[in-house]
A and B are shown apart, each in its own frame.
Chain A
Amino acid sequence: MGRYLLKKAGAAVLTIIFVLVLNFFIIHIAPGDPARILSGLDNPSPEVIQTLREKYGLDKPLQVQLVTYFKRVIKGDLGHSIVYDRPVWTLIKERLGATLLLTFTSAIIAFVLGSLLGAYSATRQGSKVDAALSFVAYLLYSMPSFWLGLMLILVFASWLKILPTSGMVNLRAPSTGILHYLDVFWHLILPATTLSLVQIPAYYRITRSSVSGVLKEDFITMFRASGMDERKIFRKYAFKNAILPTVTVFGLHLAYVVTGAALVEIVFAWPGMGRLMLGAIYRRDYPLLMGIYLIMSLSVAVTMIVVDILYAVLDPRIRYT
């Protein structure tokens, strides 16, 4: 187990380094220049640009910049944002919480609802409920999250006026205590619903097919032949055998918790990482962007390790090797 973890962690570190290097070059090859954006003029003088470049080390060759970056990252310093003029880690820290709140909430809701509905459908294949659920799943699956978000805003915020349009807090609401949490929860409802709805179909479909596959297995017939209660067969034996693919999807979704909700965050003006990243790309804020990539690949790597371990816990055929 220890060796397995070490092996996985080693592979994860290598992956992260590879991703960072790749991203570093891609972002620098792309046209655009932060110095030009910072100078803020239509036709900035070459001196201003030169000074800005020197200030942020952009005048040095790429490989030198890369090595400098890695040296700093190893010391725990993610650098300084060019655009915001603040430490990258501080910027990320401010928004990570908001994003994780939104993405975890919706991932868990989608996981629970999607797999329950999928299991329900699988046991009633061909019924009207099954057909209706499958139809809705297709509909939601093909629906862009930002559009769904806009529609929800239109209905629940503009027309019915029962939920807030955007943001994470009401500036007039208390900023501490239970009322603050209630306020955040109030603002969370629409974006979390949007994100859950677009994720539910994946869980629904994978659970439905996996449960119906397991229900056809010989051991299910064997338990039936033993006179075992149908509910017990389902809850104990079918469920544990069918849950693995669903866990995979959950892992894949979790890997994108950090930045996967960018579109929804923009639609709902949610102060999260997704918006921070899009802004950084738009303004060629290299240090901020690299910092976000680092956090992102770190979260992907960590979730993958967790999913691998979970797999081995759930399925004895998979070993820690």
Chain B
Amino acid sequence: MVATQQTNENNQCEESGGRPLLEILDLSVGYETGSGLVRAVDHVDLSLYAGESLGIVGESGSGKSTLVMSVLRLLPLDKTVVTGTVLFNGVDILRCPQQEMARIRWKEISIVFQKSMNSLSPVHKVWEQVEDIYRVHAPGASKDEIRERILHLFNVVNLSPRVLELYPHELSGGMLQRVCIALSLVHLPKLVIFDEATTALDVITQGQILDEVMRLERELKLTSIIVTHDISVVAKTCKRVAVMYAGRLMEVGDVGTVLVEPLHPYTKGLISSFPPLTGTRKKITGIPGALPDLKAPPPGCIFAPRCPEALKVCKEKSPVPTVVSRDGEEHLKDVKFGPGESAGLRNIQVPPIGAHVVACHKYGGDDA
């Protein structure tokens, strides 16, 4: 069992040949409503290399959860319009057959949901659900095997074995969150998505769980996406961060760069909405205004109506995401990405690992 898993991994490493584990290319997601299409995700390009941890931040309604839900193809088919491409390990997630998707789910990509209190059926014991979820990808697994695996993971996330015999309502929010994290790891997936996984918890429990997540990432060599509206969570746990606003990516880059010296006015505003823990007390400014109507987004940069630094061009033309150097001065103008014309999916250019990408006219976004 273990041996086959390793050869699999080796094979896939060779196959992927230095390409990102997850490539999101020109992805758009619209929700069908009675009065029009709400563009929850709008032409997003994002890639994630194996071993990276990516944080996706943005205020409520910015499309973060929709983005990750579409990666697992969990959006209701009848009410959403999804265009673009999501490549996971070279597999076209949005178009692969259902069986292929069922194989990828949980075995390769697993997710920990926002409301862990509701993530388990309230009328079935934890053990029963663990057993069923484990057997999805290992139908013949014996009870002892499953128990051994889950108890090992419970130990990792600091849960007592007796939790298995309890019903979800008998556990606290933090315990349920740990159960969900343990569950997400039963098949040692390549990518784990934490969708606001700690948002509902108090800061102490959140801190403990984040520490555990970071330890797991190190020990199990996980690749992870952490979706949150809390910049401190990203600062603590992620190597890279993608800032989202109204369905579009504003800025992507290393946490140390983006959070310390943000370039995009939205990122600056988002960061100044949180009080700094150290240093002198600064005024918390926040960002005045509200999200635009996503059924009829304004022309030009989606953030322009709220942007304190908006220029004339900002209200006319959408900025193109551009790779910038560390200080934001020199533009690497020739590096554009997104699906090439020849849409031969293997040949798409993706920004190099660690690139700092900004979608703003102030930083070369008008080169298109």
Interface residues of A, Cβ cutoff 8 Å to B:
126, 217-219, 221-229, 232, 236-237, 240-241, 314-317
Contacts and interface: CB of A to CB of B under 8 A. Distances in A.
B155 interface: no
A219 B119 contact: yes
Nearest to A238: B121
A217 B102 contact: no
A316 B167 contact: yes
B169 A218 contact: no
B72 A240 contact: no
Contacts of B119: 218-219, 222
Nearest to A243: B123
B50 interface: no
B78, B118, B180 pick with most chain A CB within 10 angstroms? B118
B123 A226 contact: no
Interface stretch (B17-25, B105-113, B143-151): B105-113
Given A221-B113, A225-B113, A317-B169, 5 more contacts: A219-B118, A219-B122, A224-B105, A225-B74, A236-B124
Given A218-B115, A222-B113, A225-B74, A314 B123 contact: yes
Contacts of A237: 121, 124
Interface string B83-115: 000000000000000000111111100110111
A317 B166 CA distance: 11
A316 B118 contact: no
A236 to B, nearest CB: 7
Nearest to A228: B136
Contact of A236 (B111, B122, B132): B132
Interface residues of B, number: 30
Contacts of A316: 122-123, 125, 167, 169
A217 B105 contact: no
B159 interface: no
B108 to A, nearest CB: 10
Given A218-B113, A317-B169, A227 B118 contact: no
Contacts of B291: none
B37 interface: no
A219 B133 contact: no
**Chain A's interface: helix, strand, loop or mixed, by majority?**
helix
A228 B72 CA distance: 13
B106 A226 contact: yes
A219 B128 CA distance: 14
A217 B136 contact: no
Nearest to B109: A225
Interface in B129-159: 132-133, 136-137
Contacts of B104: 227
A240 to B, nearest CB: 5
A229 B132 CA distance: 10
A218, A222, A315, A316 pick with most chain B CB within 10 angstroms? A222
A223 B105 CA distance: 10
B106 to A, nearest CB: 4
B115 A225 contact: no
A217 B116 CA distance: 11
A223 B131 CA distance: 12
A227 B113 contact: no
A79 B91 CA distance: 81
B131 to A, nearest CB: 11
Which 4 residue pairs across A and B have the least CB separation, nearest first? A227-B105, A218-B118, A227-B102, A226-B106
A232 B72 contact: no
Given A217-B118, A227-B136, A315 B106 contact: no
B118 A240 contact: no
B120 interface: yes
A225 B110 contact: yes
B74 A315 contact: no
A126, A219, A226, A315 pick with most chain B CB within 10 angstroms? A226
Contact of A224 (B74, B121, B122, B123): B74
